[in-house]
Structure 1
Amino acid sequence: MIDTISPWKASLTLAEHSIIAYVLSIAGLALFAFFVKSWVSRNEVTSRYRDGVYAAMGVTGIAFLSYLLLVVEFAIGYVQKGQLWVPNSNAILSWAARYFDWTVTVPLLVIELLAVATLAGAEVTRLRFVGVGAAILMISTGYIGGVVIDEGQNIGALWIWGIISGVFMLILYFLVIYVIVRGNRDLPGTAAAVTLRNAGILLLITWMAYPVVFGLQGWGHGGAVTTWMQVVLSVADIIAKVGFGAMIHKVAKIRSAMDIVEGIDTLPEAVWISSEKLSDSTALTVPGVTPAGGHAGQR
């Protein structure tokens, strides 16, 4: 039974159309900016934590491409008729493309978090497998209920598949909380533990925006609700991908500096955060070779 109206089927006023175009464009630009920042600063951390930087680049790079698709499909998915923008068959991709993005980027967020966590060996491998699997299942089951069945208009399917998706979301929440607790235990009183905790809390809070918006699809009708849904999702994407990524990068830099100070790793450049020098530059010492490149013992 058709019980609800999918957000991409609602007509928009001129103002609503302009607001959505604006937030989609700003979100895409913010994601691209952080991708560039991650690329140029990838060598600010040691190789031990660099997977977190690469994961952040994957998150923002893929999300940026997704927003390009969202903007294009939004532009061609509506036809202006008088004072309204009326959706056509392309409008669905101004929503469905978000699920394509999340199916890849949410697992990468899990990898990004675990890359700077205090876990190692078989434990981190096991948690990575569970986290990536739960993330993919969370998004894909939500996609089935929110888009696939009756083009998202069957409220029964929406809630059934939403509940199934929520089970996998709870698994992710337990994983993030476990990482935070372990970080506080293994790095007591350090800036790394505090930043890791804040990053995890930010992710947990931001992720709540997605089921809320998913639920709005079950009762919301009209362009105003559609506009709010697009705005909330775009802002949540910026926070969850850019804000979280910036915190993870900071954790990686702090932990890199800690390893350098303890003499268990090296980095050619000094580590700085907010104009504060955390560690000096170091060079990998090769037996038999001086730092200048000459053989040891030569004069």
Structure 2
Amino acid sequence: MDTTDVLLHWGYVAVMALSAVAILVMARNPKGVPQYKYMIHAFVVIWSGLAYSALALGQGTVAVGGETVYFARYLDWVVSTPLLLLSLVLTGKYTLKLEGSITAGLLGSQIIMILTGLIADLSATENRWFWYIAGCVALLVVFRLMWKELYAKAKIQGPELTAAYKASAVYLSVQWLLYPLVWALGSPGLAVFNPTLTSVLFIILPIVSKSGFAFYNLAKLRALPDHLHQGAANPRTAKEVLHAPVYS
């Protein structure tokens, strides 16, 4: 990598480090939000910063077909994006007990999306578009679960929680639509963007989708009324909520 690329990645690491400190400071005054929410977001930015440190140190890349593949990005994403989805699940089921099927479907599909992207990037032939399309299909499964099954769980908990979930889901949906778009137009795909611009975009997008989402999501939850925070401390099943609603 050239000097500009190295400086860009160190700048990213600095943003992640500052974000981790800020999240942990917020956790000292959680305002009713469970501590695990803060810890998830702290782990996301800490791991992402460590993964990008490899790139800043000249590691985490491999040459394939004369092109540089930044595989450290995928090592970041395969850990951090499932954690972001877990945070979204815990938002959508804020006062509900965590049940397995929706969560497993979301996390499994997200991991498939990331790993097929890595295989696509490592493919030096047209096969990469097969893996790219497979990843896009996995993303569609994620969106289906986010906007149907998980959204339905959020709605039974009342309008305040529904609004917080919807805002958070929109935020992540936009970000996750931009990732495959940048990949397709950037140096791994059609090369409409040169490698430097591709690197810049893959630095800006993770900052917005990781640090930005952490503060946005936590702000939405911190603003919820007390009865929802009490519900989060004593979660119930969806059936219990439907048969004995206390939210309005």
State TM-score, norm by structure 1: 0.66
Specify the alignment match of 1:197 in structure 2.
166
Q: Give the whole-Å Cα distance in 2 for the aligned partners of 1:181 and 1:47.
A: 23
What is the CA RMSD across the aligned residues, in angstroms?
3.1
1:145 correspondence with 2:145: no
Specify the alignment match of 1:278 in structure 2.
none
The structure-2 alpha-carbon separation of the partners of 1:196 and 1:143, relative to structure 1 and needing over 3 Å to count, comes to same
2:12 pairs, out of 11, 14, 27, with: 27
- 3-state SS in 2 of match to 1:116: helix
| Unaligned ranges ≥5, structure 1 | 1-7, 78-86, 267-299
User: Letter of the aligned partner of 1:158 in structure 2?
Assistant: R
The structure-2 alpha-carbon separation of the partners of 1:157 and 1:133, relative to structure 1 and needing over 3 Å to count, comes to same
1:36 pairs, out of 1, 21, 24, with: 21
Q: Give the whole-Å Cα distance in 2 for the aligned partners of 1:263 and 1:112.
A: 17
Specify the alignment match of 1:103 in structure 2.
78
Specify the alignment match of 1:214 in structure 2.
183
Specify the alignment match of 1:171 in structure 2.
141
Which protein has the bigger helix share? 2
Q: Give the whole-Å Cα distance in 1 for the aligned partners of 2:84 and 2:135.
A: 17
Q: Counterparts in 2 of 1:46-125, with a 5 A limit?
A: 49-73=34-58, 92=68, 95-118=70-93, 120-121=96-97, 124-125=99-100
1:138-159 CA deviation, whole Å, 9 max, x = no partner? 1111111212x3xxx21x1110
What percent identity do the matched residue pairs reach? 19
Tell me if structure 2 keeps the 8 A contact 1:24–1:70: yes
The structure-2 alpha-carbon separation of the partners of 1:22 and 1:185, relative to structure 1 and needing over 3 Å to count, comes to farther
- 3-state SS in 2 of match to 1:140: helix
1:176 to partner: Cα distance: 2.4
1:52 to partner: Cα distance: 1.9
Greater radius of gyration (CA): 1
Specify the alignment match of 1:280 in structure 2.
none
1:98 to partner: Cα distance: 0.1
Tell me if structure 1 keeps the 8 A contact 2:7–2:56: no
User: Letter of the aligned partner of 2:197 in structure 1?
Assistant: W
Q: Counterparts in 2 of 1:226-265, with a 5 A limit?
A: 226-255=195-224, 257-259=226-228
State TM-score, norm by structure 2: 0.79
| Unaligned ranges ≥5, structure 2 | 235-248
1:130-174 CA deviation, whole Å, 9 max, x = no partner? 111111111111111212x3xxx21x1110001111111111112
1:42 to partner: Cα distance: 1.9
**Aligned structure 1 segments of 4 or more residues deviating by more than 4 angstroms:** 262-266
Q: Give the whole-Å Cα distance in 2 for the aligned partners of 1:126 and 1:263.
A: 21
The structure-2 alpha-carbon separation of the partners of 1:131 and 1:47, relative to structure 1 and needing over 3 Å to count, comes to farther
1:97 to partner: Cα distance: 0.3
Structure 1, 176-185 or 165-174: larger mean CA deviation: 176-185
